[in-house]
């Protein structure tokens, strides 16, 4: 299978680097790679990105500058994760679609790893676009919750986990656009890309890396997007 993984908040959640979480996530991805799957990983900024962006805002930075800072952090995170893949990673962090094309041609036997591409574009959108370009069989997004809920589970204790959600309902649940550095399950640009391409997507809790394997194996885990009305 061609699999795109979006890794973010669950792995880079706190202000310290949790090496065991990185090793566990890398091991799960390596198992997919060693099983013969073509894997591309997009890494988000997580909590470190928000820390830097909030500091920049306090110093008077505009949105474009905040975006640039966020992109830099995603690429550092991506490089860190790629190190954990050892020789299985190309170690050349993807930062544009031109770089993606070059690596797709030159490193077919490697796990490709990327961060943010351009300002005003989230790493979720990057992952969705890469999945579209690859005609991916599956896009897996790891989060720090068990999937998509009908309300924010961190604010509403009665929120219910949805095992399947239509793209239209997901738009309503997620609401409006986010500012740079704000955490949402997906932004509206990402949703539009997924909707036009009808890419199979599953959201899983990345705190347990085995959920990545379960999702790729077709097990019932997390939340899957439905494109039927």
- Delimit the domains of the chain by residue range: 2-226
pLDDT category of residue 181 using cuts at 50, 70 and 90: very low
Structure tokens at 221: 């885990």
* pLDDT tens-digit series, residues 107-118: 778 999 999 999
On the CB side of 36, CA atoms within 13 Å amount to 2
Asked if residue 100 lies in contact with residue 92, where contact means CB atoms within 8 angstroms, the answer is no
Average pLDDT, the chain: 90
CATH T-level topology, domain 2-226: Carbamate kinase (3.40.1160)
> How much is the average pLDDT of 57-79?
95
On the CB side of 177, CA atoms within 13 Å amount to 8
Structure tokens at 62: 């505009």
Backbone angles phi, psi at 11, to 5 degrees: -90, -35
With a pLDDT cut of 70, the percent of the chain lying above it is: 96
Asked if residue 82 lies in contact with residue 89, where contact means CB atoms within 8 angstroms, the answer is yes
Q: What angle do CA 129, 184, 194 make, to 5 degrees?
A: 30
Determine the distance from the C-alpha atom of residue 48 to the mean position of all C-alpha atoms in its chain, rounded to a whole number. Answer: 15
pLDDT category of residue 150 using cuts at 50, 70 and 90: confident
Determine the distance from the C-alpha atom of residue 177 to the mean position of all C-alpha atoms in its chain, rounded to a whole number. Answer: 17
Asked if residue 87 lies in contact with residue 115, where contact means CB atoms within 8 angstroms, the answer is no
């Amino acid at each position: 299978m061609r699999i795109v993984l979006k890794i973010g908040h669950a792995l880079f959640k706190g202000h310290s680097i949790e090496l065991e979480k990185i090793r566990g996530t890398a091991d799960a991805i390596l198992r997919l790679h060693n099983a013969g799957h073509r894997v591309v990983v997009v890494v988000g900024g997580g909590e470190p990105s928000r820390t830097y962006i909030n500091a920049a805002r306090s110093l008077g930075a505009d949105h474009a500058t905040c975006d640039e800072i966020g992109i830099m952090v995603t690429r550092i995170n991506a490089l860190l994760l790629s190190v954990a893949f050892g020789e299985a990673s190309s170690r050349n962090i993807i930062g544009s679609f031109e770089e993606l094309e070059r690596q797709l041609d030159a490193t077919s036997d490697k796990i490709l790893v990327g961060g943010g591409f351009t300002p005003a574009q989230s790493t979720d959108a990057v992952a969705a676009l890469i999945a579209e370009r690859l005609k991916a069989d599956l896009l897996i997004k790891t989060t720090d919750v068990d999937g998509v809920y009908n309300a924010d589970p961190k604010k509403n204790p009665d929120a219910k986990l949805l095992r399947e959600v239509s793209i239209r309902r997901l738009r309503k649940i997620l609401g409006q656009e986010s500012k740079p550095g704000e955490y949402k399950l997906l932004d509206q640009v990402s949703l539009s890309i997924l909707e036009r391409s009808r890419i199979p997507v599953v959201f899983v809790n990345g705190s347990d890396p085995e959920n990545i394997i379960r999702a790729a194996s077709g097990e019932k885990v997390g939340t899957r997007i439905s494109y039927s009305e």
